[in-house]
Amino acid sequence: MDATLEVVKRDGRGKNEARRLRVAGRIPAVVYGAPKAGQASDGGVAVAADPKAVLRILHSEAGANSLITLKLDGGESQVMVKQYQLDPVTHQLLHADFYQLALDRVITVTVPVHLKGDPKGVKLQGGMLDFVTREVQVECLPANIPERIEIDVTDLALHDSIRIRDLPSDEKWTAVSEPETMLVHIILPKAEEAAAADTEETPSAEPEVAKKGKTDKEAEEPKK
């Protein structure tokens, strides 16, 4: 998703300045990245942003992976959300950091995994879908960031699985997470799995019969 965000420079820093900004309906933010003319090279550029506009971007389908056109002092730059802080009680946005992007330079981002289809191992074989890993790290150019990685699980049978190495290749991005990482597999429900394990571990044995009376040896020995 492409989005636009307007920010203004701020001179003050610290808790008092942050409180003043929030009362005025804005939040403190910092823009990091390659400096332009008039910008400081260390510590980023202190700005003030509209928290509602930032939250709309964070709540979009692309979320923090949204490519943002940042407008500042009449200029524009491409940025992404680096990190943000929410109030633990009210969940209001308190602070945000952005970093500038070079559109011709590969970056690493975390992309959500989405599943589609009804696995035959669930519908026909009584299995259960276990969605193990829900995010994958990929390398790509900023303009090619996928909103999500979609996996079709329709043909998965019982005990089948999909790992990162099984993802189809895409010319726009490359998965860089551990190739053997399990994404999704079809397993037996726990109750059936435990019953199967008990059956395998318990050996069949003839019941032991308690013998009463004298043994053959005792019967053969003469009385003294």
**Closest C-alpha among 52, 54, 40, 55 to residue 10:** 40
Is residue 69 one of the residues assigned to a domain? yes
Exposure string (b/e) for 159-198, b if CB count within 10 Å is 16 or more? ebebbbeebeeeeebebebeeeeebbbbbbeeeeeeeeee
Q: What mean pLDDT is predicted for residues 56-77?
A: 94
Do 50 and 118 belong to one domain? no
Q: What is the pLDDT of residues 103-162, one digit of tens each?
A: 999 999 999 999 999 999 999 999 999 999 999 999 999 999 999 999 999 999 999 999
Percent of the chain with pLDDT over 70: 80
pLDDT at 17: 82
Report the CATH number at residue 83.
Answer: 2.40.240.10
What pLDDT does residue 176 have? 97
- The verdict on 168 and 187 lying in the same domain is yes
79: β partners: 68, 100
On whether both 26 and 49 belong to a single domain, the answer is: yes
Look at residue 61 and tell me if it is in a domain: yes
- 135 located within any domain: yes
User: Would you state the pLDDT for residue 42?
Assistant: 52
Statement: residue 2 has pLDDT above 90: no
Task: Tell me, yes or no, whether 66 and 114 share the same domain.
Answer: no
Whether pLDDT at 210 is above 80: no
Residue where a domain terminates, one of 68, 100, 132:
100
CATH number at residue 137: 2.170.120.20
Within a domain: residue 220? no
Number of structural domains (the chain) is 2
**14 shares its domain with 65:** yes
**Averaged pLDDT of the chain:** 86
SS3 content of the chain, % helix, strand, coil (to 5): 20, 35, 40
Confidence of residue 221 (pLDDT cuts 50, 70, 90): low
Per-residue pLDDT band for 30 (boundaries 50, 70, 90) equals very high
12, 80: one domain: yes
| Within-domain flag for 7 | yes
Please indicate, yes or no, if residue 209 is contained in any of the structural domains.
no
Residue among 120, 119, 75, 117 at smallest CA distance from 100: 75
Give, in degrees to the nearest 5, the angle at Cα 195 between 191 and 200: 150
What DSSP element (H or E) covers 198? helix 190-201
Domain that holds residue 96: 2-100
Read off the DSSP letter of residue 210.
P
Question: Which pTM was predicted?
Answer: 0.73
What's the token pair of residue 8?
């203004």
